[in-house]
Amino acid sequence: MINIRHLTPHLRRRLKKPLGILITGSKKETMTIVKTLIEKEKPEKLVTVGDQVSQDITNNSLLPDILIVDNKIMRKRIPPISATADQVESVKNPAGTITDEAWLAIEKAMKSPERTKIIVEGEEDLLTLVAILVAPENSLVLYGQPRKGVVAVKTTPTMKQKTLKIVEAMKNDSKGT
């Protein structure tokens, strides 16, 4: 059985608001704040979702444990980012969905001691929710908020519960295999 969760119009509006702390300013300012946050929090896992934030983080000598990218910025195709990883996974995840394939790849990456880059064919935006749910407590998930800055989400029990409610509210399609 394959499950695909779809974003509803109500959830799309809800997710326009940052899930965590919105860090604004120039790229240099936001990266300085992010670096300070990482040094202070010492996250269990550091996860980046999105090509721009993943590239910015690695350009600032920070090494995410997991990078989730789709080779697009603002829905426009870009050359693959230069950030390297010990292992690379490719998954399909159409826009506005969370597929089991993508979910399982993120779970596998969380359990691995290797730095992992997950390349998404489709769209990676909603995989932020999966990263928050499956990351160990006190991890940090970073994603871009278009034209605003970087959002930092600490994976606390409260945040995981809030995120689970969002995922549970998604429309679920099941297909036999």
pLDDT score for 156: 98
Q: 71-104: per-residue pLDDT in tens?
A: 999 889 999 999 889 999 999 999 999 999 999 9
> What would the mean pLDDT of 35-56 be, rounded to a whole number?
97
pLDDT score for 147: 87
- Taking 70 as the threshold, does the pLDDT of residue 122 lie above it? yes
Strand pairing partners for 67? 48, 117
Strand pairing partners for 6? 97, 171
Map residue 75 onto helix, strand or coil: coil
Query: What is the pTM (predicted TM-score) of this model?
Result: 0.94
| Residue 70 near residue 52 (C-beta atoms within 8 A) | no
Residue type, 6: H
- Taking 60 as the threshold, does the pLDDT of residue 129 lie above it? yes
Rounded (5°) CA angle 84-90-94: 125
